[in-house]
Amino acid sequence: MTTIALELNGHALRRDVPARMHLADFVREEGRQTGTHLGCEHGVCGACTVLVDDRPVRSCIAFAVACDGRKVTTVEGYDHDPVMALLRPAFSRHHALQCGFCTPGMLATSRDIVLRFPDADEARVRLELSGNLCRCTGYVGIVAAIRDVLAQCRAGAHPGIDALRAAMPVHACSASVPAATPGFTAFEAADTGVAAVAAVPRGEAPAAEGAAPANGTRIQGQFTVPFPAADVWRFMADLPAVAACLPGAELTEHNGDRVKGRVAIKFGPMSASFNGAARLDRDDSTRSAVLKGAGQDSLSQSRANGDVAYRLTEVSPALTRVDVDLLYSLQGPLAQFSRSGLVKDFVGRLIQEFGKNVALRMDPARAAGAPLPPARLNAFSMGVGVLWSRIRRWFGRGDQVG
């Protein structure tokens, strides 16, 4: 046993500990500060990150005896920290947490980013966060919260934070690594050169402002329409007619290439009614377009933004293929469903239903009669179809392997 004395969240703590006790176990068992979470216990996931002398340290691989005489701060000790006074409400505002398991470590790393990189862009924030893993949020809300705080701290708006930055070692507020705390090895996040896939390949659809982030959830699909490409292209320019083909969609306002409306959907535990606006950018030369939209769910207050890019290809004089590339991101309670395989299958089925409705509404025989009713979303039948198609794929793969 070794006797150590340190400051834990502003209080002196002296204990006899085994030489191999880790700091995470010490703060939880001896200090009763259970906000520090243990995940991988190999220094990989970052959930256990705490501050040692105001520097982030992986407490699951740091020995308690190495912290003798130091100041240790866990998530319970941030009450008087000026950076955390901005970060915590920003995390709540941008819904940067869901289950909350990774949040204590995320906050410690986020504080370090705010202090060391006052001019960090999204790429730098994501690089510095690469050592903290989250299985819930998709990181969109976390990155948004950090950038929100960085924006608040510009132009000397928070003298307390400026003072903390000035007290850091020389070059610590640049891309350089701050001086290592004695007894601990500093490290630098390294860019491996792996870039995010762009939402729309260059040259395949017109670019415009307000594009969905390249780190969102991407779903691709296609459908065919038994009409010439020129006719389909003209039909796709009629936004009210197109909206009427989308199950669950309803337009409330239409002005040129801009629309406002709502989309209601329910699938299993996920129920949403998004009110929002969208803008259509078309390129007649390539028969490609991007519909850019954003909205908020009136039920959960979740926010969504995304791009729906599509391109028409003439398969034959009387048959047109429409390739759809959907990229979207969610912030809020619904974000936990956004990467579900069933949801992706469900959206794929929605694309097929949309294609069928387009063909029906373009049919001259149907257009000559009574107007078609609005496209409805039969979540039960579509859900059954999704599950059945999955079951067939699973058994199909099994047959092929056997």
Secondary structure in 3-state letters for the chain: CEEEEEEECCEEEEEEECCCCEHHHHHHHHCCCCCCCCCCCCCCCCCCEEEECCEEEECCCCEHHHHCCCEEECHHHCCCCHHHHHHHHHHHHCCCCCCCCCHHHHHHHHHHHHHHCCCCCHHHHHHHHHHCCCCCCCCHHHHHHHHHHHHHCHHHCCHHHHHHHHCCCCCCCCCCCCCCCCCCCCCCCCCCCCCCCCCCCCCCCCCCCCCCCCCCEEEEEEEEECCCHHHHHHHHCCHHHHHHHCCCEEEEEEECCEEEEEEEEEECCEEEEEEEEEEEEEECCCCEEEEEEEEEECCCCCEEEEEEEEEEEEEECCEEEEEEEEEEEEECHHHHHCCCHHHHHHHHHHHHHHHHHHHHHHCHHHHHCCCCCCCCCCHHHHHHHHHHHHHHHHHHHHHHHC
- Residue ranges matching CATH 3.10.20.30 in the chain: 1-41+53-71
Task: Note the pLDDT of residue 240.
Answer: 87
Task: Note the pLDDT of residue 304.
Answer: 83
Instruction: Confirm if 273 and 298 have CB atoms less than 8 A apart.
Output: yes
Q: How many CB atoms lie within 10 A of CB 49?
A: 28
- Residue ranges matching CATH 3.30.530.20 in the chain: 217-401
For the chain, 402 residues long, give each residue's pLDDT as a single digit of tens. 899 999 999 999 999 999 999 999 999 999 999 999 999 988 999 999 999 999 999 999 999 999 999 999 999 999 999 999 999 999 999 989 889 999 999 999 999 999 999 999 999 999 999 999 998 888 999 999 999 999 999 877 888 888 888 887 654 444 444 555 566 655 566 655 544 433 333 333 333 334 444 456 778 889 999 999 999 999 998 888 888 888 778 888 989 889 898 888 765 556 778 888 999 999 999 999 998 888 888 877 788 888 889 999 999 999 999 999 888 877 776 665 555 565 666 777 778 888 888 888 888 876 554 455 554 445 445 454 545 555 555 555 444 433
State which amino acid sits at residue 194: V
Task: Note the pLDDT of residue 296.
Answer: 87
Domain range 217-401, CATH class: alpha beta
Domain range 78-182, CATH class: mainly alpha
Locate 241 and state its tokens.
């007619």
Architecture of domain 1-41+53-71: Roll (3.10)
